[in-house]
Amino acid sequence: MPRFALRIEYHGAPFAGWQRQADQPSVQGAVEAALARLEAGPHTIAAAGRTDAGVHALAQVAHCDLARDWDPFRLSEALNWHLKPAPVAITACARVADDWHARFSAIERRYLFRLICRRAPLTHEAGLAWRVGHRLEVEAMREGAAHLIGRHDFTTFRSTLCQAKSPVKTLDELRIETVDRPDGAEYRFHVRARSFLHNQVRSIVGTLERVGAGGWTPDDVARALEARDRAACGPVCPPQGLYLAAVGYSPDPFA
């Protein structure tokens, strides 16, 4: 059966997350239902990562096996037609080898978290970013973030529901970008690693927000990491500002 890689963009608000669920809408369920309109199912697709409820994707990657050897462009166009009106789009499609796997072939994953500082509630960006009503000290956040880069035991920044076999991960990048706005400021957290623990990014961003607000010092982040204790973590930020931004492969099937 021909195997296809799909690059998928979605707005996470209407969904209970990526993973298919019996009684709630999911992104996986929406894509599988669209596939069933093209070829009789059932269909099961595998993704590079399972995003939580409310989390968005700019470039999630999944793969599917089909009976027909579709032209990739026509397959993406047909899927997008059947995905309407769900806020899900196939932005690229490629034929891949039979042993290629969206999850296990990935060599890195990139996440973006958007945090907007302004007094007024968000309107156009509601559900697309985390709003806080106070300014943050970005240099303090960067100093705190530096303690987390590299290979560490991230037990402190791991959900108690995490199913990963080991809490040890290597964080290759944790960069904080600032964007000035007429209504305040936006902070964009760019995070890159081969793989992540459940709630790791949201736990890190929530902790760094406390540093930026002055409630924590940058060295408190190091002490929290060394504690290897979930109770030592700062608050976990909401999912609305989190985006799965990219998944890396070598070679890139979409190149």
Burial class for 18, CB neighbours closer than 10 Å (0-12, 13-18, 19+): buried
3-state secondary structure of 141: helix
DSSP character for 109? E
Q: What whole-number distance in Å separates Cα of residue 189 and Cα of residue 173?
A: 10
Determine whether 138 is exposed, middle or buried from the number of CB atoms within 10 Å of its CB (0-12, 13-18, 19+): middle
How far, in Å, CA of 193 to CA of 214, rounded?
28
Alpha-carbon distance of 146 to 19, in angstroms, equals 33
Residues 152-175 as b/e (b if ≥16 CB within 10 A, e otherwise) read bebbbbbbeebeeeebebebeebe
Q: Indicate if 52 belongs to the active site.
A: yes
Look at strands 150-153 and 3-10 and give their pairing. Answer: unpaired
Residue 198 burial by CB count (10 A; 0-12/13-18/19+): exposed, middle or buried?
middle
Closest by alpha carbon to 73, among 11, 4, 9, 10? 4
Which among 52, 65, 172, 220 is annotated as catalytic?
A: 52
- Name the residues annotated as catalytic: 52
